[in-house]
A and B are shown apart, each in its own frame.
Chain A
């Protein structure tokens, strides 16, 4: 994958000009198929989701074991832990998904 990437970067002028032209025109649609090809084996999302689920289960078990004060109390604590896990996972997932196939890229400012 790295070689193919280098090929694209250091290709001779015609394709480079073509790329430039397309970018100046403002659409990146020619890039997307290539990038989809690159990242089609992205395992980051399901893996980290499983990590979040595992943390959630472990936290629930700890809460039930350490603060065991009856079934109604346990249910309440489980609700809290579950809500927290879901909120945290959602936030991570949203930020991750938003960066998977971005439509814009960072353009460095002059000072750097």
Chain B
């Protein structure tokens, strides 16, 4: 008894371990006068340690107090996004420096942004119009070039009189100048219905065939269609895409044909341009068009330069503005969570904050009062809360990825033991058990070191989602690599090749001629190999039987140890929450059950190894259950085994009802004692069971549903009992994956590298080396890593954590400017 008391004292006197339990939280109430509200919230946001509770949760976004300000912020961020788009389209590089300037007022910023936006929109529309004209003129020029060729050749067929009216039909109204040139020369004769006329235009190459067919059908074949590709890609004025176009000329006669053709041109989106038949006029028009084109180009360039200058002046401030607007919106969103009090002069807020941050917050609030020249101070006082506090772990760069992978399964309940403490070491270790090869471990180490050395540079860049995960887990990768190197040295595998690093092998041939080596094998003539697996095993025929036996037993031993650690953590949890019921009726029977069966198995494994007995452990365990009182015979490993087995079996059988029955009945007894007037003093006792909801005992003390509690306890016990077998077997995946890794490694080495190296040809050797490298990198390093990572994680999440972890808490999400990201826009 003295020893257990001393142990208790020792445990109590230990300082609390850093990451073991979540930070103590306190529920606070803030009463802020209206004039210092904005500033106070901003300072609290910079501090980032208070999680506000939404007091207006039942109101819609439009009923809240500061809805207008939020709308204005949203509008401003829309304008900023528009600027960002424009900058990206123009191809300018935006700087990401964020300089904190507090003297920019929000209203000024709003006005500035509106001005800039207006300016930009105007410039954009102007340049769009100019660009459209430019494209049309470009098309006209190409049509002129190509169509001239047709017309020259067709002039031979047409009426030879050049001055006879050839009505040039055009559908664009802009070309008044060119039209005027034409009309001057045009002899205003009535249209000659029987003369040959033509229409020139340009159409998308993809539509040419259908266009021609449609024209053919519409004019009943009375037309001549000539086409030539434009030769270069042109920007279509309507759709602003670069597409291939074809110039066409349609020769026809008659008015009706003309209207029909025009309509068909319109339908197909072909642009028709007026081309004079006269060669000199053609040349004149071509010159005019060219000169207009150069003018337009110059104007467009000037316009683009002007716009880029405007954009450049915005670029410098853009990151800063976006940051400011984001913060303001966050502050107003938070202000919306507060309530106005009766006098309408103060805002009341409630939230959770960690105990260690109270002084910092009070200091920040005092600064806010001072800076806003308010007469009334801000009241900040703790309150009692009904609900359970959020969970907050203060992690650093090294421990935060481990905490994240634990949280991925479930966030810890407030102040329960954090598995991340042990996950930090055991997770990479279990990974390494499945990945054990020190060559591959060195590759992983190099990768991890590259990521860590370039930490600063990579953390500011925007990485793809896969790289981001890899970068976030760089310290996990480092630990995994180090442990892999250690396990690889123990398994004695370097890309599946064994080495004699730690001395000569313990095995040798039976005689100097070694003729028995291939039939009955070597013999062991000295102490076991001092560190790791003996190199003689590699490549031998009995390698797999030895290694399989070794790795399976190793998995069981590690599994039983890991699970015992889990149950031990449940003891520490019960002790912390003062739940002696859990200790006596859950921890003790669980330990007894697990260890009398699987702890005994581990003991048998060790005894068998130490004595070299030939007893089959399967038979030992099976007959322990089937016929425990029989004589052991060849299953005997040590003296006293039979009575020990009977005792352990009885203990295991007793443990089952021990964990199943007493607890619900005792809870029922306590409940009746407490709430049927027998004693009032037990209300705040710490001997409250946590299986029942923490707040329900206070609020719903009339409801104690015995059947529910009993069924819950039964499920918990059965889960443990059945789970002890299945979880122990589950640890055999450590063996399975390590075998797979070793076999894959062997195959690649022997069947790829050695095979290729056997030839004398350099090309074959290089090809073999390349295949070996790719196979190692993609299959062994990436796929096997992911696989081992996943299985080690599963062993933690299920087999380890279901012994003690509840994981039904919620994470502490403080209002913090640092946590605002671009996705919040």
Contacts and interface: CB of A to CB of B under 8 A. Distances in A.
Given A44-B530, A80-B424, A108-B541, A102 B546 contact: yes
A94 B511 contact: no
A42 B609 CA distance: 14
Contacts, number: 144
Contacts of B422: 79, 83
Contacts of B530: 44, 48, 96
A40 to B, nearest CB: 11
A18 interface: no
A80 B18 CA distance: 12
A108 B606 contact: no
Interface residues of A, number: 48
Interface stretch (B233-241, B520-528, B661-669): B520-528
A10 B518 contact: no
A65 interface: no
Nearest to B398: A80
Interface in B506-533: 506-507, 510-511, 517-525, 527-533
A94 B549 CA distance: 12
A30 interface: no
B789 interface: no
Contacts of B528: 42, 44, 96, 99-100
A65 to B, nearest CB: 17
A11 to B, nearest CB: 10
B17 interface: yes
A32 B530 CA distance: 20
A71 B507 CA distance: 50
B98 interface: no
Contact of A97 (B536, B537, B610): B610
A72 interface: yes
B18 A75 contact: yes
B490 A105 contact: no
A105 B16 contact: no
Main secondary structure of the interface of A (DSSP, over half): helix
A54 interface: no
B554 A95 contact: yes
A10 B16 CA distance: 66
B518 A42 contact: no
A15 interface: no
Contact of B527 (A42, A105, A110): A42
A61 B319 CA distance: 48
B614 A27 contact: yes
A35 interface: yes
B14 A23 contact: no
A3 interface: no
A58 interface: no
B183 interface: no
B542 A105 contact: yes
A9 interface: yes
A9 B694 CA distance: 74
A75 B14 contact: yes
Contacts of B536: 106
Nearest 8 Cβ contacts at the A-B interface: A101-B612, A107-B521, A106-B540, A76-B18, A99-B528, A105-B521, A71-B15, A83-B425
Interface of B: 14-20, 421-422, 424-426, 429, 433, 486-487, 490, 506-507, 510-511, 517-525, 527-534, 536-537, 539-543, 545-546, 549-550, 553-554, 557-558, 561, 606, 609-612, 614
